[in-house]
Amino acid sequence: MQGFTIRPLASEEELRRVIEINMVTLPEHYPYFFWLEHFSLWRDIFLAALVGEEIVGYNMCRIEYGIGHVRKGIVKQGHVVSIAVLPEFRRRGIASALMLKAMEVMKEKYGAGEVYLEVRVSNEPAIRLYEKLDFKKVKVLKRYYLDGEDAYLMAREL
């Protein structure tokens, strides 16, 4: 379904709106400097989804060098740090579009060879979204979250 647009976050005012969305959609929150660091350094993979004038979702990513999760050796990796869509706007392809755009920029602009993320083992909607996008569960990160829940590390080639 269409009716939304995806584009990089444009201002610190929009960043504050993204943080509000994070507060109501996810248990993982971050200090302001952490958001600002991503907005400053990787703005073209810090994406907003808009319906009309309103931001209804975001995808905050970064670029790292690390030991490959799906490729061998040290590789340039895109890291999806946090993605969320407001409940009223779910199941219309917005998160998929946010992921596809971020992966395109990670590959084309940054030359990343793979993309990875962590997700709660209980977060079935998100796991299904990632599996639909060809991510695979690479390993379990025991007690990854503050409340003791495990994470799947999921990754795919770019």
95 touches, from Zn ion, ligand ACO, none (C-beta below 5 to 8 Å by class): ligand ACO
DSSP assignment of 28-79, as one string?
----HHHHHHHHHH-GGGEEEEEETTEEEEEEEEEEEEEE-SSSSSEEEEEE
Q: Quick one: which of 15, 47, 75, 80 contacts ligand ACO (CB under 6 A)?
A: 80
Q: Tokens standing for 86?
A: 């407001």
User: Cα–Cα distances in Å, from 146 out to 82, 138, 149, 151?
Assistant: 16, 21, 7, 11
Query: 54 or 64: whose CB is closer to Zn ion?
Result: 64
Under DSSP, the state recorded for 147 is T
Question: CB within 8 A of 22, min separation 6: which ones?
Answer: 28, 29, 30, 58, 82, 84
119 touches ligand ACO (CB under 6 A): yes
CB of 107 to ligand ACO, least distance (A): 18
CB of 62 to Zn ion, least distance (A): 9
Q: How many CB atoms are located within 10 Å of the residue 5 CB?
A: 11
Using the contact rule CB under 6 A, the part of the chain among 11-19, 89-97, 102-110, 136-144 near ligand ACO is 89-97
Using the contact rule CB under 6 A, the part of the chain among 3-11, 69-77, 125-133, 135-143 near ligand ACO is 125-133
Binding site for Zn ion (CB under 5 A): 118
Q: Which residues bind ligand ACO (CB under 6 A)?
A: 25-26, 80, 82-85, 90-96, 117, 119, 123-126, 128-129, 132
